[in-house]
Amino acid sequence: MIAVCAQASPQPTFRSRVVIQTLDVIAVDDRGQPVRDLQPSELLVEVSGRRRRVTAIELLGDSAPGSDRPAPVSGRRDSVSNRTAITQPAPSPPVSLVFLIDDESFDPGEGMGVLKAAVDFAAAAPKANQYGVGYTSTNGALTFASDFSSIAALVTAALRGTRPLASYGVGPIVREGAIGIVEAIEISSERNRFAKDSAIDRLCWPFTEKPNEHALCVADIERQSVAIMAAARQKAQAQSNAVLKVLTALSRWPGIKHLVLVSGGIIAPGEQMPWRSLQRQGAAASVIVHVLYVRPNASDVAVPGRSPTAGRDAAEGKSTLANIAGASARI
Q: Which residue has the higher pLDDT, 320 or 226?
A: 226
Let me know how long the chain is. Answer: 331
Q: How confident is the model at residue 144 (pLDDT cuts 50, 70, 90)?
A: low
pLDDT of residue 196: 83
Per the CB < 8 A criterion, the answer to whether 131 and 311 are in contact is no
d(CA 206, CA 216): 12
Q: What is the CA radius of gyration of the chain?
A: 34
The pLDDT tens digits for 232-243 are: 677 666 666 666
Does residue 80 carry a pLDDT above 60?
Answer: no
| pLDDT-derived band at 50, boundaries 50, 70, 90 | confident
- Least confident piece of the model among 22-31, 55-64, 300-309: 300-309
Q: Binning pLDDT at 50, 70 and 90, where does residue 89 land?
A: very low
Instruction: Look at phi and psi of residue 171 and say left if phi exceeds 0, alpha if psi is from -120 to 50, else beta.
Output: left
Quick check: 240 and 278 in contact, CB under 8 A?
A: yes
- Enumerate residues 6+ apart whose C-beta is below 8 A from 31: 74, 85
**Reported pTM:** 0.38
pLDDT of residue 43: 76
* DSSP secondary structure code for residue 124 in this structure: T
- Of 59-73, 143-157, 202-216, the least confident: 59-73
Q: What is the pLDDT of residue 49?
A: 75
131 or 227: whose pLDDT is higher? 227
Instruction: Indicate the pairing of strand 142-149 with strand 130-136.
Output: antiparallel
Mean pLDDT value across the chain: 59
Task: Please name which of 288, 256, 227, 222 lies closest in space to residue 130, comparing C-alpha atoms.
Answer: 256
pLDDT for residue 222 is more than 70: yes
Handedness of CA 104, 105, 108, 111 (dihedral sign): negative
Helix, coil or strand: residue 75 = coil
Residue 21 has pLDDT above 60, yes or no: yes
Contacts of 15 (CB under 8 A, 6+ apart): none
User: How many C-beta atoms lie closer than 10 Å to residue 157's C-beta?
Assistant: 15
**Nearest Cα residue to 183 out of 213, 214, 219, 222:** 222
Quote the pLDDT of residue 301. Answer: 30
More confident residue, 320 or 232: 232
Report the distance separating Cα 284 and Cα 302, nearest Å: 36
Domains belonging to the chain, first-starting first, are 2-63 (no CATH), 96-167+215-330 (3.40.50)
Please choose, from the candidates 289, 199, 185, 288, the residue with its C-alpha nearest in 3D space to the C-alpha of residue 227: 185
Higher pLDDT, 280 or 192: 192
- The stretch 237-254 carries a mean pLDDT of 62
Give the residue-averaged pLDDT of 60-65. Answer: 50
Cα angle value 127/131/132 (rounded, 5°) = 155
pLDDT at 263: 56
- Which is more confidently placed, 293 or 255? 255
Query: Vertex 264, ends 260 and 269: CA angle to 5°?
Result: 100
The percentage of the chain sitting over the pLDDT mark of 90, rounded to a whole number, equals 0
User: 84 versus 219: which is more confidently predicted?
Assistant: 219
| CB distance 269 to 296 below 8 Å | yes
Residue 308 has a CB neighbour count (10 Å cut-off) of: 18
Q: How far apart are CA 112 and CA 99, in angstroms?
A: 15
Name which of 4-8, 26-30, 181-185 the model is least confident about. 4-8
Q: Which residues are 99's β-sheet partners? A: 133, 260
> Residue 37: which residues within 8 A CB-CB, separation 6 or more?
none
Residues 99/260, Cβ–Cβ less than 8 Å: yes
Mean pLDDT of 191-199: 78
DSSP H helical ranges for the chain = 108-123, 152-160, 181-189, 193-203, 211-250, 273-284, 310-330
Q: What angle is formed at CA 185 by the lines to CA 183 and CA 187, rounded to 5 degrees?
A: 70
Give the mean pLDDT of 46-72: 62
pLDDT of residue 5: 47
Give residue 213's pLDDT: 84
Integer Cα distance of 256 and 252 in angstroms? 9
- Give yes or no for residue 174 having a pLDDT over 60: no
- Residue 268: pLDDT band (50, 70, 90) is very low
From 302, 303, 278, 281, select the one nearest 292 (Cα to Cα): 278
- State yes or no: pLDDT of 229 exceeds 70: yes
